[in-house]
A = this chain, B = another copy of it.
Amino acid sequence: MEEAFEKTANAAMALVVNTTESLESPTVAPGKEQQAAGLGILLQIMMLVLSFVIGHVLRRHKFYYLPEASASLLIGIAVGILANVSNTETSTRTWFNFHEEFFFMFLLPPIIFQSGFSLAPKPFFSNFGAIVSFAILGTFISSSVTAILVYLGGLLLLMYKLPFVECMMFGALISATDPVTVLSIFQELGSDINLYALVFGESVLNDAMAISLYRAMSSFRKHDSSFGNFFGIIWSFLEIFLGSLASGVGVGFTSSLLFKYAGFNIDNLYNLECCLFVLFPYFSYMLAEGVGLSGIVSILFTGIVMKHYTHTNLSENSQRFVTAFFHLISSLAETFVFIYMGFDIAMERHSWSHIGFIVFSILFIIIARAVNVFSCAYLVNMIRPASRKIPIQHQKALCFSGLRGAMAFALALQSLNDLPEGHGQTIFTATTAIIVLSVLLIGGSTGPMLEALQVVGDEHDGPLGERFEDDNYSDSYGEESSTSNRIKMRLKEFRTPSFSSLDKNYLTPFFTSQNEDGINSD
């Protein structure tokens, strides 16, 4: 059994090496290559199926200590170790670049789009201010705190010394939190709606923030190494973030107008409708990448806009189909990302010489996470009315949910290219260690944590995500949803032009083909 496994693993390696070689020498027999590729992909499909089945079995037995993501990660690591042990001669570095491209081009887009697409508009928009604070300001705080601590640690010889701009890059990449695992448990256990919206919204938007910040730092590092040009960084960041946001929102609105006026739903052109719909997100991603912006940020906002406007312009059949389609594609990509991450963690050369860096950076990101959450929550609570303050349990839960995943890994991979040899290696190894620990530890203990903090809802088995999307639930926080409160909110809506009123009065009528009733019930 194990031998067969090793053989297959060898074949997977051979696939990559062969593919690389084939590009250099085009006369290699394609039969052999295809055979090796077949075995390699076969192995990956088997790992995927295994992950799905194991995840299913664990969930069925309500064993929350090993979520699906952790299981996938462990499967990947196990297969990677086997492949590593059985095959030490071929250089594992050759296929590394392909790997990263594949990550960014084909695995991340569906995941990020689905994050935006599955965002329940109501709780998201009603907590919009708080989410943006946590995501934008919070991620900036978290990155800076991590960077400063790591820089100081380097100065005090506690850990490997990095230049400050590289510390900022590390801070940015390690501040990207992953929604996958924690949220699946939140859904399973049925946590508070507002807490769910906060955790989900923050982890989705902070990816966008982290990647923009990382890129800004990276381009700053390349072009100018003096620190006088502080506004250059800010400008670069704003350019990437706002440009990508605008491109994503633009593509989303374009798609909504296309589907509003093309009249596919009249002609019953079910397949054409779906084909065009699924091409738009990728179009948004590639458009942003093509003009040098961040595809991830762009596709995220395209997802939000397409869900809110374009989706309602589809025929009913197509609506159901595309929802299921993106759910399916992103599930496959997510599971594959964790497997692939595990595999790569086991295969990649790590520099374990700077063990101090790893230990201290774990300590520092915990501190940074706490500073981020509690300071932002303090600010949000200062502005919010007494009835809508974020309770301390929610703050603790949010602080706890800072699991690091695919985005941090992908950026760490990129840092191997962006930074000098030793620096990139150290950051990559530390990031890897943090991801594995946080996925296994945080992922495994989210269930008990939620119960200990008493933020678990009543319905233990109901799928929370669907409840969010279908329910016509009230705007206000918790139990204080009295009528007077509602009227106050509605009055406030008319006094200050909020996003909700803009949406209701102008955007929805313009971009969707709904009638008045539809708008009101939405």
List residues of A whose CB falls within 8 A of some B CB. 11, 19-20, 22-24, 26-31, 33-35, 37-39, 41-42, 45-46, 48-49, 52, 56, 60, 93-98, 100-101, 104-105, 215, 218, 267, 269-272, 274-276, 278-279, 282-283, 285-292, 295, 321, 324-325, 327-328, 331-332, 414, 417-418
Contacts and interface: CB of A to CB of B under 8 A. Distances in A.
20 contacts: A19-B98, A20-B23, A23-B23, A23-B95, A28-B417, A30-B417, A31-B292, A34-B101, A35-B290, A35-B292, A37-B105, A38-B289, A38-B290, A39-B290, A41-B105, A42-B290, A56-B269, A56-B272, A271-B328, A325-B328
Contacts of A328: 271, 274-275, 278, 321, 325
Contacts of A26: 93-94, 96-97, 417
A519 B228 CA distance: 78
Contact of A37 (B39, B56, B215, B289): B289
B22 A324 contact: no
Most buried by B among A26, A274, A291: A26
A275 B35 CA distance: 25
Contacts of A325: 321, 325, 328
A419 to B, nearest CB: 11
Nearest to A100: B30
A38 B39 CA distance: 29
Chain A contact surface mostly:
helix
Contact of A275 (B98, B282, B332, B417): B332
Given A22-B101, A24-B24, A34-B101, 12 more contacts: A23-B94, A37-B289, A38-B295, A42-B286, A45-B279, A45-B282, A45-B286, A49-B283, A271-B327, A274-B324, A275-B332, A279-B332
Contacts of A30: 97, 100-101, 414, 417-418
A279 B46 CA distance: 9
Contacts of A29: 417-418
Contacts of A52: 272, 275-276
Nearest to A285: B38
Top 6 A-B pairs, shortest CB-CB distance: A38-B289, A38-B290, A39-B290, A42-B286, A38-B286, A41-B286
Nearest to A277: B328
Nearest to A295: B38
Nearest to A463: B268
Contacts of A100: 30
A45 B290 contact: no
A145 B93 CA distance: 50
